[in-house]
């Protein structure tokens, strides 16, 4: 047992170091350390293989080793470790965690390109959940996400081109000529399509814009999934672009039931790169991004129909929500979310949360009431 504990300690030390390397932008070193941690943790788990009396240690070590295997891209090895753990007698709570991890393993298989060759200007989108069949999904869960992914691609391109955040109006001719998006190749995995970003025959000086956009988008998705909003905000350096990305990605994220995972796969010189959004969709919390010094009274929440969305101001927009009693309420909307996030809800029933600021109210969150029925 002492040897098993030693192996486990060494594995966790290496896993912690791998995390540091990953956060510092050294993916190759991180992967190398993770693989060493996996090998040590697998040896520790194997030391408990035929010792049922060591539960829950036995199942915990197998679960840990399987998680590390998955991080290394060893999906088949992770599947074996989970199966061995479940074949024993793990406590029910750990058994549920093992089953959840097994779903992650299967989703990685769905994310796998399976013989599909992606070009540097392409990435694959995959959906999984109760609403997803073999190559089929309700349009209401698919097309809105495609639209939001397209929007966040264009917003990323505008930011990488050094353009000021566009609060309203159509994309500029410069952007339209620099990048175009296409969806190709429907495949019966969980539900997967290829998203292609086409650039001009002559790229911007020193920039392969489609490749730059995909790399940046994957970096941001990883930080979002980790809920590292501080580092994500530092990455953007522009509050409007940051707020816009968070709001759009919340809409793309899983609802937790009908869609349980949204995965992205691309090819890089180092091999496949995968990111999966698996955290359940949350409300679009503007207040979490721009804290408001509110008066002593608590933020209030109301539901009603969004009947006005005015973005004439260069700094902030205004929305009007009519509640069930017919009373009109006006809210100030911070920059970055009016055009892509709030306006698409026009004439829909929404729930808003706001705080008083001066003589008015500043929007904290907004989401369609229908979101509640699918969770």
Do the beta carbons of residue 375 and residue 256 sit within 8 Å?
yes
Q: State how beta strands 271-277 and 349-357 pair.
A: unpaired
pLDDT band, very low/low/confident/very high, at 115 (cuts 50, 70, 90): low
Domains of the chain listed by start with CATH number: 2-111 (1.25.40), 122-282 (no CATH), 285-374 (2.40.50.140)
Cα distances (angstroms) measured from residue 74 to each of 65, 126, 268, 312: 11, 19, 18, 52
Return the H-helix or E-strand segment holding 188. Answer: none
pLDDT band, very low/low/confident/very high, at 13 (cuts 50, 70, 90): very high
Mean pLDDT across the chain, nearest whole number?
A: 82
- Return d(Cα 234, Cα 217) in angstroms, integer: 15
Establish whether the linkage from the previous residue to 306 is cis, with ω within 30° of 0. no
Average pLDDT rounded to a whole number, residues 287-294: 41
pLDDT at position 82 is 93
Residue 21 reports pLDDT greater than 90: no
Q: Nearest-CA neighbor of 274 among 230, 205, 225?
A: 225
pLDDT at position 63 is 92
3-state secondary structure of 34: helix
- Return d(Cα 61, Cα 25) in angstroms, integer: 28
Q: Residues, the chain, total?
A: 375
Overall pTM surpassing 0.85 (yes/no): no
Q: Who wins on pLDDT, 26 or 276?
A: 276
Q: What is the percent of the chain with per-residue pLDDT over 90, rounded to a whole number?
A: 26
Do the beta carbons of residue 161 and residue 204 sit within 8 Å?
yes
- Which positions ≥6 away from 74 have C-beta within 8 Å? 38
pLDDT band, very low/low/confident/very high, at 262 (cuts 50, 70, 90): very high
Do the beta carbons of residue 155 and residue 245 sit within 8 Å?
yes
Cα distances (angstroms) measured from residue 306 to each of 86, 314, 346, 352: 50, 21, 5, 10
Average pLDDT rounded to a whole number, residues 320-324: 87
Lowest mean per-residue pLDDT among 77-81, 106-110, 358-362: 106-110
Do the beta carbons of residue 79 and residue 102 sit within 8 Å?
yes
């Amino acid at each position: 047992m002492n040897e098993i504990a030693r192996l486990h300690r060494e594995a966790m030390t290496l896993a912690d170091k791998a995390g540091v390397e990953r956060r510092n932008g050294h993916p190759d070193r991180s992967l190398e350390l993770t693989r060493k941690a996996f090998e040590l943790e697998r040896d520790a788990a194997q030391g408990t293989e035929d010792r049922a009396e060591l539960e829950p240690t036995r199942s915990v070590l197998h679960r840990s080793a399987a998680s590390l295997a998955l991080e290394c891209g060893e999906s088949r090895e992770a599947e074996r470790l989970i199966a061995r753990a479940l074949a024993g007698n793990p406590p029910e709570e750990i058994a549920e965690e093992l089953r959840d991890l097994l779903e992650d393993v299967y989703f990685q298989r769905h994310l796998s390109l399976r013989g599909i060759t992606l070009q540097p200007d392409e990435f694959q989108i995959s959906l999984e959940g109760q609403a997803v069949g073999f190559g089929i999904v309700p349009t209401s869960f698919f097309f809105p996400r495609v639209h939001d992914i397209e929007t966040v691609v264009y917003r990323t391109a505008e930011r990488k081109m050094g353009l000021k955040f566009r609060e309203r109006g159509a994309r500029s001719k410069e952007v339209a000529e620099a990048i175009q998006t296409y969806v190709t190749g429907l495949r019966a995995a969980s539900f997967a399509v290829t998203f292609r970003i086409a650039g001009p025959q002559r790229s911007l000086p020193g920039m392969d814009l489609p490749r730059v956009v995909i790399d940046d988008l994957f970096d941001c998705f990883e930080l979002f999934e980790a809920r590292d909003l501080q580092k994500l905000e530092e990455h953007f350096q522009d509050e409007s672009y940051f707020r816009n990305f968070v709001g759009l990605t919340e809409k793309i994220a899983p609802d937790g039931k009908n869609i349980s995972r949204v995965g992205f796969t691309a090819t890089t010189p180092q091999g496949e790169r995968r990111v999966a959004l698996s955290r359940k969709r949350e409300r679009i919390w503007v207040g979490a991004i721009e804290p408001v010094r509110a008066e002593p009274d608590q933020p209030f929440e109301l539901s009603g129909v969004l009947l006005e969305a005015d973005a004439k101001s260069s700094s902030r927009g205004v929305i009007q929500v009519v509640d069930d009693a017919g009373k009109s309420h006006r809210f100030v909307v911070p920059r970055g979310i009016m055009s892509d996030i709030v306006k698409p809800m026009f004439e829909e029933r929404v729930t808003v949360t706001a705080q008083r600021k001066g003589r008015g109210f500043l929007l904290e969150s907004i989401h369609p009431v229908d979101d509640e029925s699918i969770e």
